[in-house]
Amino acid sequence: MPNECPPLPGKDKQTYSTHLKALPPPDPIPVSTTPISPLFPSLRATDPKRSTHVMAILNLTPDSFSDGGKHSPTDLTYITETVRKFIASGATIIDIGGESTRPGSTPVGAAEEIARVVPAIQHIRTSIPEAANIAISIDTYRASVAEAACAAGADIVNDISAGLLDPEMLPTVARIGKSVILMHMRGTPQTMTTLHEYPTGVIPEVAAELGARIAAAEDAGIRRWRIILDPGLGFAKIQPHDLEILRELPRLRAMPGLEYFPWLMGPSRKRFIGHLTGVKTPRERVWGTAATVSASVAGGADIVRVHDVHEMSQVTKVADAIYRVD
């Protein structure tokens, strides 16, 4: 639609997009909004003074690369303590996952994934009053898991494949009316490490492939204002790609077709941080993660997905004070 020409006789062949860009700017300038839930403020990706949301990672898996096995899906007391700690530390979103997507991970199947995440989501929604205004995202690429999680109380679907690994995902998200995070990835967690060639550059190719997923989401019925984008640090990318995305995030956000969307960045404890710092143990990569979180805020990220919530909440507060001004 933006690149189509209006059917007006006697007019120059000008696209809708070209015509709109030629108009004088409105006063005041409108702010794009992405709704999450009635109790959670909408994301405002074009507001220069917006605060960065901290998304806390709650992996209910035995084999995640960084914290696998730490949080048992059946230990509701420990989940309560963890969630309360996340909230007290500054998290505004909790991302719950029931299957590891680290390189080479083994899929567990939809039934097992649902059994891991749904009781935890129900518990958070019914037994932790402090979490009433906290958004919950479900980290899954399966439509059936997304639907069950949202029925239990999740607000956002966080799909690492942007709908590519389950053809029912995008139509399901459209039907249940939730916001969705579309992440850039190639292949599967088992094959993505071999799919990191970007002959024309990582920024234009990631932009083009995300643009295709946006189009697929809209074709499935997902409203444009329900979409959040994620460049997928560490997924089908090697260290130079991750660093370029962090360095060039403003350029990526401004690529044609990607303007005005909110962005999530997930650099927490990633392998490239370990390579740069020499820190082999993921949980010890706090300082390196802090640098990438600050860079993400400087580049315009709306959400940072992190393990070390207390420390990264402090980083985002200071980074917001530096970079989030008119």
* Mean pLDDT confidence for 278-304: 98
pLDDT for 12-48, tens place per residue? 667 777 777 788 888 888 899 999 999 999 999 999 9
Q: Give the residue extent of every domain in the chain.
A: 49-323
Distance (Å, whole) CA 308 – CA 289: 9
pLDDT for 206-217, tens place per residue? 999 999 999 999
CB atoms within 10 A of CB 6: 10
Nearest to 94 by CA among 138, 63, 130: 138
Which superfamily, per CATH, for 49-323? Dihydropteroate synthase-like (3.20.20.20)
Dmax over Cα atoms in the chain, in whole Å? 70
Check: CB of residue 258 under 8 Å from CB of residue 252.
Answer: yes
DSSP, collapsed to helix, strand or coil, labels residue 183 as strand
**Which residue has better confidence, 2 or 318?**
318
63-72, 79-88, 303-312, 314-323: segment of lowest average pLDDT: 63-72
Residue 123 confidence class, pLDDT cut points 50, 70, 90: very high
Residue 59 has what pLDDT? 93
Given a cut of 70, whether residue 129 has pLDDT beyond it is: yes
- Whose tokens are 């949080």? That residue is 71
* Mean pLDDT confidence for 185-210: 94
Residue 21 has what pLDDT? 79
Distance of CA 80 to the CA centre of its chain: 24
Residue 100 confidence class, pLDDT cut points 50, 70, 90: confident
Task: Kindly report each contact of residues 198-202 with a partner whose C-beta sits within 8 Å and lies 24 or more positions away, as own/partner.
Answer: 198/241, 202/237, 202/241, 202/244, 202/245
87-91, 98-102, 140-144: segment of lowest average pLDDT: 98-102
What is the number of alpha carbons within 13 Å of residue 153 lying toward its C-beta?
23
Nearest to 34 by CA among 164, 229, 195: 229
pTM of the shown model: 0.90
Rg of the Cα trace of the chain? 20
Q: What is the mean pLDDT of the chain?
A: 92
Nearest to 203 by CA among 150, 284, 163, 258: 258
> What is the DSSP secondary structure assignment for residue 214, as one 8-state letter?
H
Active-site annotation, residues: 270, 305
Task: Kindly report each contact of residues 47-51 with a partner whose C-beta sits within 8 Å and lies 24 or more positions away, as own/partner.
Answer: 48/324, 48/325, 48/326, 49/324, 49/325, 49/326, 50/302, 50/324, 51/316, 51/320, 51/324
DSSP, collapsed to helix, strand or coil, labels residue 167 as coil
First to last CA, the chain: 31
Distance (Å, whole) CA 301 – CA 253: 9
Residue 106 has what pLDDT? 78
